[in-house]
Structure 1
Amino acid sequence: MTADPAAPGVRVVIADDQALLRGSFRYLLDSAPGITVVGEARTGAEAVDLAARERPDVVLMDIQMPELDGIEATRRICAAPANAGVRVVMLTMFDLDAYVYGALRAGASGFLLKDSAPADLLAAVRVVAAGEALLAPSVTRRLIAEFARRPGPAPAAALDGVTNREREVLTLVARGLSNGEIAGQLHLGVGTVRTHVAHLLAKFGARDRAQLVVAAYETGLVVPSGGR
């Protein structure tokens, strides 16, 4: 993961029911240039309220939370129009199959293991705040496996307004390629790829690339190995 050290300040909310972890994350984030923790939540309900009040750039959300689990809290945060600029990163001890699909469908921009290196946590916050997706290879494999277990793709009607070039770009986004890698493969400029991605985000009403990955599989544009 890479981040732009000159990026504007990033405001973060930490949602975890363990005070020790919240304190550790806060110390690390507040010590980093350009990152400020603007609130802490002990429950999923508190996280929803804090996100509405503070409108942070990033919410670090524990999956297993009291009162309201992290996935439902994420769904409520991401469904609120006023929170359009809020990105959620799910925090978990294990990248479990059961959570991946549900969290991304709820609007999460990615996953981060709680035992990640401090540098990875800081980079993750900056990457997600910039609108990128944060999907580790192991998580991506589990996401694809989840789609492979499902009975089949949804109707492809959502692709009706998508151009052939945009379909090519979306397919490569779903395979985890960066804009630069997509540009190289399709012999396009990086700026052109960014424009195509922006159009895809608008057409699918997607918050970021994580939701574009979901859209690619749900419309059947990309079929998992072993799937239909």
Structure 2
Amino acid sequence: MAGMTKVLIVDDDALVRAGLTMMLDGADGISVVAEATDGADVPGTLDAHPVDVVLMDIRMPKVNGIVATQQVRARANPPEVIVLTTFDTDDNVLKALRAGASGFLLKDAPPSRIVEAVLRVAAGDPILSPHITRRLMDQVVTSADAYTTARTALSALSPREHEVAVAIGQGKTNAEIGAELFVSVATVKAHITRILTKLSLGNRTQIALLTHDAGLS
């Protein structure tokens, strides 16, 4: 198992679990080490089977994927979460991203796309394109409370970190941000790391959502 990306599949549909397990176990560098039928089973399963990536269904009968994602990301050294959905217009996708998911996949995505997504998030790379992130954010109207909370949170950033956060919210890549601010990509990544730490966020998608709530992107 050394060097393998270990995966937990969480879905109440036995056929979906079986198909994903067969697909991922047949891919180089990936091993499905456990399955769960509901979000309620996730904490105990992770205690018994530590993994790198969780493939999480959104709609489940007892504990849904949004709540389960929050619980996963609150753990010490949490695995990455990719949520599974039938429709990419589902507003629950945005809720799952706010909860800390690294991205989402449609259940009918090509096998190669699913394998690529698992390996990428395990390596710390985002799987949501800026375009998709913007489209999801544009579906919602920010409440007054969310606006105030976001503005307060962002006030903890330095001026340069604030610029980087806003650029992320505008859908810009690290290379584009670096060119705009006349700094290296490595410097941009360092700013992002500090932003995530200061704001207690898990990934750049959550930064983008926060700047959206603050009315800055």
TM-score of the pair, normalised by structure 2? 0.88
Give the distance between the partners of 1:121 and 1:28, measured in 2 at CA: 9
Query: CA, structure 1 residues 181+55, in 2 after alignment: closer, same or farther (shift >3 Å)?
Result: farther
**Off by >4 Å, runs of 4+ in structure 1:** none
Change (3 A) 1:97 1:140: farther
Question: CA 1:140–1:23 in 2, change beyond 3 Å: closer, same or farther?
Answer: farther
| Shift, 1:40, TM fit | 0.7
Give the counterpart of 2:183 among 185, 188, 205: 188
Aligned length: 212
**2: distance between equivalents of 1:176 and 1:133?**
12
Instruction: Give the corresponding residue for 2:54.
Output: 59
Residues 103 and 16 from structure 1, CA distance in 2 versus in 1: closer, same or farther, beyond 3 angstroms? same
Paired residue type of 1:105? R
Residue number among 171, 174, 177 corresponding to 1:176 in the alignment: 171
Judging changes above 3 Å, is the alpha-carbon distance between structure 1 residues 161 and 138 closer, same or farther for their aligned structure 2 residues?
A: closer
In the TM superposition, residue 175 of structure 1 has moved relative to its aligned partner by 2.5
TM-score normalised over the length of structure 1:
0.84
SS for the counterpart of 2:34 is strand
Shift of 1:149: 5.1
Change (3 A) 1:193 1:149: closer
Tell me, in whole angstroms, the C-alpha distance in 2 between the residues paired with 1:92 and 1:174. 24
1:167 matched to which residue of 2?
A: 162
The gaps in structure 2 that reach 5 residues or longer are none
* Residues 77 and 160 of structure 1: CA distance in aligned 2, closer, same or farther (over 3 Å): same
Match of 1:9 in 2: 4
Identity, % of aligned pairs? Answer: 38
SS in 1 for 2:22: helix
Q: Distance in 1 between matches of 2:66 and 2:41?
A: 14
1:195–1:149 Cα change, 3 Å: closer
Aligned to 1:44: 39
Query: SS of 1:207's equivalent?
Result: coil
Deviation of the 1:33 alpha carbon: 1.4
Q: Are the aligned partners of 2:55 and 2:83 in contact in 1 as well (CA < 8 Å)?
A: yes
User: CA offsets per residue over residues 90-149 of structure 1, 9 Å max, x none?
Assistant: 100102343033212222111111111111111111222223333354454122321x35
Instruction: State the AA in 2 paired with 1:124.
Output: A
Please give the secondary structure, in 1, of the residue aligned with 2:31. Answer: strand
Aligned equivalent of 2:103:
110
Structure 1 residue 158 corresponds to structure 2 residue 153: yes
Residue 162 of structure 1 deviates from its aligned partner by: 1.0
Amino acid at match of 1:79: A
RMSD between aligned alpha carbons?
A: 2.0
> What is residue 222 of structure 1 aligned with on the other side?
216
Q: Amino acid of the residue matched to residue 100 of structure 2? A: G
Alignment partners' CA distance in 1, 2:167 and 2:176: 9
User: Do the aligned partners of 2:66 and 2:96 also contact (CA within 8 Å) in 1?
Assistant: yes
- The reply on whether 1:68 has 2:63 as its aligned counterpart is yes
Alignment-derived partner of residue 30 in structure 2: 35
Q: Which residue of 1 aligns with 2:123?
A: 130
Letter paired with 1:184: A
